[in-house]
A and B are shown apart, each in its own frame.
Chain A
Amino acid sequence: MSNSPSQRKLVTVGVLAIQGAFSEHLNQVSHLSLQPPYSHSVELSAKLVKRPEDLSQCQVLILPGGESTVIAMGCRRVGLFEPLREWVRSGKPVWGTCAGMILLSNQATGGKKGGQELIGGVDIRVNRNGYGAQIFSFETNLSMPCLEQVGDHRPFPGVFIRAPVVERLLHSKLEPSSSSSTFSATTESGTSTPIEKVTSYGGDGAAEKEEEGLIISYADPQPPTESDQSAKRPPLEVLATLQDDLDLPQQSTPPTTTDSRIVALKQGNIMVTSFHPELTSDRRILSYFIEKVALPAIL
């Protein structure tokens, strides 16, 4: 016997709607059926977030795919940027797909001239559009053991569109993973990054630094040092990696390192995926985010 809607707790899921594929996320949220125990206790509603006053009515947030530069500029213009940073700082649940993942990363390379603003929150450096031009966009099935928690872990259809590549993890504290058997609990080994000399930078908020021809954008006024990050920050949990035998053509950042094969991560209440579950009819990742990440954090 279920409670009447009025006895359920209303949880509003906001979808940032500045630019990009926000209506796809809105549709998925609108059609999501919650599983027990939440099916009896929670009523979900979906809301487009275009202004700070929209954000203040939400308890859960999704940052969609789109062009991350456009979304960042649009947020700045309507005064959403600082509220979004405050959202992340205060530990409220948020999921970013593709452009949303870039915005939630603490560092990004491959941005436009002059750098781009990031919201930050996840201790990773991503290479924006790291697989190369659109002709290198691809689809592949992903193994995601965490989906066992929301039904089954059949392969998830991963749709990668001018997707970001994780260049490196910015601290070494990893969740000994229930999720990925291929991942060992260390990132120290000089893995991957072509740019090691990140020493200083200027600018206000959107700090950026040009090093060896690459532009790095930072989310925070202070670049994180690995030691103090590791001490205070929640662990990074890898949710999905590209298969080792996935044969992709020549790319600007071949995903050959352990880090750069990562395509889904969780840190605290922040989840990021470099692919687009909202473009498929498979709602398992949304279910996982809502039922295993977001609702436990706010109820």
Chain B
Amino acid sequence: MAKRVLLVEDEPELRRAIVVRLNAAGFQCEVATNGKEGLEKVEHWHPDLVIADLLMPEMGGCEMVQRLRARHETSRVPVIVLTALPRQAKEERIEDLPSVRLMHKPFDSAELLVVINDMLAKDSAGGPSDG
């Protein structure tokens, strides 16, 4: 069965681009436009992986990840956080959370797919989560 990826991104065009790419790679996709909506979708749709932008209205990726980690059912779902902020910003600390990876925009789609598959593989192996 196709793996489910939830994409949380407020830029509609970038959202569309990533969805096209993910669909082409065989993933099932669902979108949300901010962290709040993202949390609801996680609860009802149970994605295998979440991709979230860092800066979004209402609730950004950082807070969303922290909330996901705080709840038992979602404490392990892998998250890729996309950021367009300069490197080495404070936000890099969220990479200390388990199963969180940070990717900088503009990213390489091939690299994004590699990271997605890598995280999904680790997750299903049930091994220690990646910090």
Partners in one complex: no
> Residues of B at under 8 Å CB distance from A?
none
